[in-house]
Structure 1
Amino acid sequence: MRIPRIFTEQNLLSGEQIELEEAASHHLSKVLRMQAGRELILFNGAGGEFAATIHEVNKKHVIVSVQEHSAENRESPLELELAIGISRGERFEWVLQKATELGVTKITPLITERTEVKVNGDRQEKMHDRWQHILISACEQCQRNLLPQLSAPIQIFDWLPSVNSDLRFVLHHRDSKTLPAEQKPQNVTLLIGPEGGLSESEIEQALAKNFNALTLGPRVLRTETAPVAAISLVQYLWGDF
């Protein structure tokens, strides 16, 4: 039987007992219906993971005994940033999940000329919290122990000057350039637009900031398909695929 992986924001030390957060406790006790004695794996994003055993299950919380630590993180040797225009609803959330599974190091949600989602005030905070939860769930599933860094949404023209990766690519289906397989970068940035793509001025500004135009074949890919294809190719060439 598969051993559940649980994220916690608490400090973890071998030999101690901790009370898991309410959401994690509910998942273990009410959804998985686990009882005392069952094995778990705990991680908190600080690196590595801990074996653990459920010590007690009560009405509201699960208490676990923390055991030995493993330093395994399962991270790609390539630092990879995905900067992508915010798209509507489940499309963007699907991208966050798959990018995490594929080993992206940093995700930067961009506000572009064609972004249709309103990002402001309380709504931005709620969206960020939901996105962070999606990253945590994806890490629990794919066995990553370090969470990707999730930036706050930013205007594309404010973000472009901050990029300093070895290689930078902007997806541009009207171009014909492909990935330079002979290079060996340590870090890469992928820039992808929302529904409708990036505007001509946004692409021009990216190219002026040392981005390389990149096309992924003759077909136009949707905003949720393009990052999966691009990340997979980059990880194959320079990462751990």
Structure 2
Amino acid sequence: MTTRIFHPEPLHSQSQVQLSDSAAGHVARVLRMRVGDTIELFDGSGLAYPAILAAVEKRNVVADVGEALEHSVESPLKVHIGQGVSRGDKMDFTIQKAVELGVDAITPLITERCGVKLQAERWQKKVQHWQQVAISACEQCGRNLVPQINSPVSLAEWLVEQTEQLKLNLHPSAQHGINGIDSVPAAGVRLLIGPEGGLSEQEIAAAGEHGYQSILLGPRVLRTETAALTALTALQTRFGDLG
């Protein structure tokens, strides 16, 4: 399998680039690659570039960039997840797997039962970390477009944002599941997922008042990370590119 590396600056065919410090360390020290080995670079523009390593040192790796390749594995269904922030590694896991399943964007949500309380500077570092989790997932799964991890907002702010997407909220008392959605959501889906402990009754009511349709995933109560990935899988199977 070809090693894929994200490059944070725009790439151009028939050029030479110096890999970022983290990428250089991974290539040189972890993978122990050598001059002449091939990798694939992408910059988030949707294109991929085959490249040959021209110099490999512990802190300096240079690659000769080849012709751009147009190969997309993006889903036709755009899904924007509003995810109640969870503790520990659960948020990392949700982001990683959601990217693999084709999510378009993720917005962390601060809700009544959110167990994570941080200052603004700490939130910024969290978002940077989560964006890197998304990048690493793209490197692994073959995506050349990197989903955006937005800055955390309150649920109230999320609910009033304008969107043409179909608004969905998971709820165990809903009348039907994803198979009950009649037509393909042409603009995509805006999916609300509660945190550990779920959304409060007041939050569920507020979501309904702002046009969020309640849907059911099944008879069992799912953890927040399981719910997000199960719902995304079901949506991609029904309307996207999962067979």
Provide the TM-score with structure 1 as the length reference: 0.97
3-state SS in 1 of match to 2:94: helix
CA distance in 1, matches of 2:58, 2:241: 43
3-state SS in 2 of match to 1:70: coil
1:166: Cα distance to partner?
3.3
Contact 1:40/1:53 (CA < 8 Å) preserved in 2?
yes
Aligned residue pairs, count: 240
1:215: Cα distance to partner?
1.1
In structure 1, the residue matched to 2:182 is 182
The structure 1 segments of at least 4 consecutive aligned residues displaced by more than 3 Å after TM superposition are none
Contact 2:51/2:64 (CA < 8 Å) preserved in 1?
yes
After superposition, give the CA deviation of every residue in 1:113-144 in whole Å (9 maximum; x if it has no partner).
Answer: 00010132221111011101100000000000
Which residue identity does 2:184 align to in structure 1?
Answer: K
In structure 2, the residue matched to 1:68 is 67
In structure 1, the residue matched to 2:8 is 9
CA distance in 1, matches of 2:213, 2:107: 18
3-state SS in 2 of match to 1:119: coil
Q: Equivalences for 1:5-84 in 2 at 5 Å?
A: 5-84=4-83
3-state SS in 1 of match to 2:103: coil
3-state SS in 2 of match to 1:183: coil
Which residue identity does 2:149 align to in structure 1?
Answer: L
CA distance in 2, matches of 1:181, 1:213: 11
CA distance in 2, matches of 1:59, 1:120: 36
Which residue identity does 1:63 align to in structure 2?
Answer: V
After superposition, give the CA deviation of every residue in 1:16-59 in whole Å (9 maximum; x if it has no partner).
Answer: 11110110000000000000000100001011100001011123
Contact 2:29/2:58 (CA < 8 Å) preserved in 1?
no
The answer to whether 1:150 aligns with 2:149 is yes
CA distance in 1, matches of 2:200, 2:58: 54
In structure 1, the residue matched to 2:84 is 85
CA distance in 2, matches of 1:191, 1:181: 16
Which residue identity does 2:168 align to in structure 1?
Answer: F
After superposition, give the CA deviation of every residue in 1:45-82 in whole Å (9 maximum; x if it has no partner).
Answer: 01110000101112311000000111222111111111
1:181: Cα distance to partner?
4.2
3-state SS in 2 of match to 1:137: helix
Contact 1:167/1:185 (CA < 8 Å) preserved in 2?
yes
CA distance in 2, matches of 1:58, 1:112: 47
CA distance in 2, matches of 1:59, 1:98: 31
1:163: Cα distance to partner?
4.2
Structure 2 residue runs of 5 or longer lacking an equivalent are none
Q: Equivalences for 1:101-180 in 2 at 5 Å?
A: 101-179=100-178, 180=180
Which residue identity does 1:214 align to in structure 2?
Answer: I
Identity, % of aligned positions: 43
In structure 2, the residue matched to 1:215 is 216
3-state SS in 1 of match to 2:224: coil
3-state SS in 2 of match to 1:225: helix
Q: Which moved more, 1:20-29 or 1:73-82?
A: 73-82
Provide the TM-score with structure 2 as the length reference: 0.96
In structure 2, the residue matched to 1:98 is 97
Which residue identity does 1:160 align to in structure 2?
Answer: L
Contact 1:181/1:237 (CA < 8 Å) preserved in 2?
no
CA distance in 2, matches of 1:235, 1:165: 18
